[in-house]
Structure 1
Amino acid sequence: MEMRLEGLSVDLGGRSILRALTLDVPSGQVVGLVGPNGSGKSTALRCVYRALSPSTGRVLVGEADLTAMGLRDAARHVAALTQEGGSDLDFTVEELVALGRAPHLRGNQPLGARERELCHQAMARMEVTHLARRGVLELSGGERQRVLVARALVQEPHVLVLDEPTNHLDVRHQLDLLGLLREVGVSVLVVLHDLNLAAAACDVIGVLSEGSLVAAGPPDKVLTEHTLREVFGVEATVVAHPLTGDPQLLYRLPHFEKGLRWNTHG
Structure 2
Amino acid sequence: MTGPVPADDPTRPTPAQELAVDAVSVQLAGARLVHEVSLRAAAGRVVGLIGPNGSGKSTLLRCVYRVLRPAGGTVRLDGDDLHALTARETARRVAALTQEHSAEFDFTVAEVVAMGRLPHRRGFGAPTDRDRERCAEALRKVRAGHLADRGFLSLSGGEKQRVLFARALVQEPRLLVLDEPTNHLDIAHQLEVLALAREAGPTVLTALHDLNLAAGHCDLLYVLRAGRLVASGPPAEVLQPALLAEVFGVRATPVRHPGTGALQLLFDRLT
* TM-score range for the pair, normalised by the shorter chain length: over 0.9
Contact 2:249/2:269 (8 A) holds in 1: no
Contact 1:86/1:144 (8 A) holds in 2: no
The alpha carbon displacement at 1:88 in A equals 2.9
1:7-42 CA distance string (max 9 Å, x none): 110011221100111100111110000001110100
In our comparison, the structure showing a higher alpha carbon Rg is: 1
Q: Which moved more, 1:154-163 or 1:8-17?
A: 8-17
The answer to whether residue 77 in structure 2 is matched with residue 61 in structure 1 is yes
- Where does residue 132 of structure 2 map in the other structure? 116
- Where does residue 258 of structure 1 map in the other structure? none
- Where does residue 184 of structure 2 map in the other structure? 168
- Where does residue 145 of structure 2 map in the other structure? 129
The answer to whether residue 87 in structure 2 is matched with residue 95 in structure 1 is no
The alpha carbon displacement at 1:239 in A equals 1.7
- Where does residue 150 of structure 1 map in the other structure? 166
TM-score when normalising by structure 1: 0.93
TM-score when normalising by structure 2: 0.91
Aligned AA (1:152): A
Superposition RMSD in Å:
1.1
Contact 1:85/1:148 (8 A) holds in 2: no
The alpha carbon displacement at 1:133 in A equals 0.7
**SS state at 1:110 partner:** coil
Number of equivalenced pairs? 255
Aligned AA (1:40): G
The alpha carbon displacement at 1:184 in A equals 1.4
CA distance in 2, matches of 1:234, 1:2: 34
Unaligned runs of 5+ in 1: 256-266
Q: 1:18 aligns with which of 21, 34, 37?
A: 34
Aligned AA (1:30): V
Aligned AA (1:178): L
Contact 2:245/2:270 (8 A) holds in 1: no
CA distance in 1, matches of 2:104, 2:48: 29
The alpha carbon displacement at 1:254 in A equals 4.6
CA distance in 2, matches of 1:165, 1:86: 16
The answer to whether residue 246 in structure 2 is matched with residue 230 in structure 1 is yes
**SS state at 2:250 partner:** coil
- Residue identity (%): 56
Q: 1:72 aligns with which of 76, 85, 88?
A: 88
- Where does residue 62 of structure 2 map in the other structure? 46
The alpha carbon displacement at 1:85 in A equals 2.7
- Where does residue 264 of structure 1 map in the other structure? none
The answer to whether residue 195 in structure 2 is matched with residue 179 in structure 1 is yes
Q: Which moved more, 1:106-115 or 1:159-168?
A: 106-115
**SS state at 2:189 partner:** helix
- Where does residue 159 of structure 1 map in the other structure? 175
Contact 1:240/1:247 (8 A) holds in 2: yes
Unaligned runs of 5+ in 2: 1-16
CA distance in 1, matches of 2:142, 2:253: 35
Aligned AA (2:255): V
CA distance in 1, matches of 2:107, 2:72: 38
The runs of at least 4 consecutive aligned structure 1 residues that moved more than 3 Å come to: none
